[in-house]
A and B are shown apart, each in its own frame.
Chain A
Amino acid sequence: MFNPWVDKFVRLLGVLLILGIVYLGVVIAFATSPITTSVGYQPIQPVPYSHATHAGKLGMDCRYCHSTVEFSAKASIPATQVCMNCHKTILPTSEKIVPLRESYTTDKPIKWVRVHSLPDFVYFNHSAHVNKGVGCVTCHGRIDRMDVVYQAKPLNMAWCLDCHRKPERYLRPKEYVTKMDWVPEGNQQSLGEKLKEEYNVNPSTDCWACHR
């Protein structure tokens, strides 16, 4: 009924099955990884604003525009007024800032597209982090090198917990939170442990720390 090639074929199928399961695991792992699904989101903004120019070249502090970051949950998108602080007189007629002028004269906010968006059941607080020595760059990447901002970090739960469980690997002195190119002098581990003690950093890993 069955010829001997069937047995060979079954053995081959067995090998293929094992390979197939491994392959499927690899594909699922990579396809569902937030590095594939989340990182690299780079929406087109209504104004071709460049962080690389303002934060990078001009060296403006993040907090000049995102002025609520230290005392509020939100870092806040700056009001048009803040842009016009300079652009009233610098490049006031530039093509690029047409929407800016329109917003300024009509009193209608610019519809910036949000890049870093956590699910609505996650309550993240910026002030809690920047006041305890978590740098902007840790979660947002090198914004000062981005012409158009994109999501640089996965921002998934495992990634959050990675730091919440062992914060000393990421802490920096408070005065350097906005400094994009800060690197620890010496050992990050020992510095982090010192700062953890000094700032009393005991991040919660309870569910309700973020899901309220």
Chain B
Amino acid sequence: MLGRARLTVAFLLLGFFSSVAHAQQDRTITIGSKSFTESVLLGELAAGLLNAPGSKAEHRKQLGGTRILWSALQRGDIDIYPEYSGTIAREIFAGKQPGSLADIRRELASHGIGMTEPLGFNNTYAIAMKPRRASDLGIATISDLARHPSLRLGFSNEFMDRGDGWPALKQAYALPHNNVRGLDHDLAYRALEGGDLDAIDVYSTDAEISYYGLQLLTDDRSYFPAYDAVFLYRLELEKSDPGAIRSLRRLEGSIDANRMSALNRAVKIGKQAEPVVAAGFLRERFDLYASVAVDSMLSRLMQRTAEHLALVGLSLLAAILVAIPVGLYAARRPRLGQVLLGMTGIAQTIPGLALLVLMIPLFGIGAEPAIAALFLYSLLPIVRNTHAGIVGISLSLSESAQALGLSRAGRLVHIELPLAMPSILAGIKTAAVINIGTATLGALIGAGGYGQPILTGIRLDDMGLILEGAVPAAALALLAQGAFELGERLFLPRPLRSQRSA
């Protein structure tokens, strides 16, 4: 079932993304980054260095967290991404806990992955509080937190469940706190500033630390390891494109902690675009003059609309082609029908983000896994409404059709499908509207669309950017709703139209 669905989706995608496949044959190097500013900046720097004459680099920004990037790198969806040594040791190889950089390098090599030397700064995790609150409570170290079990802690979602995150920290310091919330890292600063939280996790190079004047608690038990920034890359690049690796390694030892903080600050506080900040650094440090193309809002909007429509359109089309026959079959075989309805119902209960991540091992990152996930989401409303539409046909009508001597196919085409059509259309409409909203999550795994500016907007605390994604997404949902109602009026025979559109 899944295999066939996958095949169907893959087939549909074939035509659409053949251009992407071609680009990959020309050996474009793909750089990934996680969805926080420093990672995006490092990705931009790598892209700027690699985008020299004779080689081409593409940066797929803010692809979510460690697990998504790591599996994308292993699958070859991306070739390079910035990572931190502590994260590799404690999170990626949590079971083995390699200690030294040499151990890490050996472990990575066994997965076909290479690592540059450290870039020059250690971006460790730290726990931050407002200095006023800390001094009031007499807190200076992480150990001191244990004396105040009622403090409200807020940690980034990744920190909440990482091998080197909250569970292990709680154990290492015997912290008693129960009032712990997981939230987006960029929102955590605002919650701390607003007084909704007492302590949060931060990266030591975060621009906000100095901006908000936060106090970092001393890691008195030396719990956090070093998080030296490095680039991970696929080892095969050393053979296929040694020049690219040489370019990448120019960044080794070139950025100290102060410099990284300043770059982060330029983006987050100074509100400059990452490509601009990255280009500035490359010019200053390497005398490299990269042209920075900043798209106009209109061209950005056009591109995202195209991406979003492709996500929604392809997944919905595939869902219609699969769900209507399944619904018809379920109506004909009541017992098996319950099983089929149950199965599509289960797909619906999986949270959107989880479903997206579940698709990555099958489809990698980008539009394909997002389309597959949206396809699964769209099945239930269409299957259920098709089933309900057919089952709801009155006995006298189905008997009349049978007594008339119409063939089975004839009854389906002339009687059953037309009579069930209002219900089927309503199901498709529901699926489309849900789909348009859910597709914004696709940006987390590199699918683009209206989710992209929303994600960036949350990261940069930029309401304008959030609206740049949210408003068109809402407008598209309304437009879809209107289009279906118009279609109902145009294509359904008058007696079958709903009262509202009559």
> A and B: partners?
no
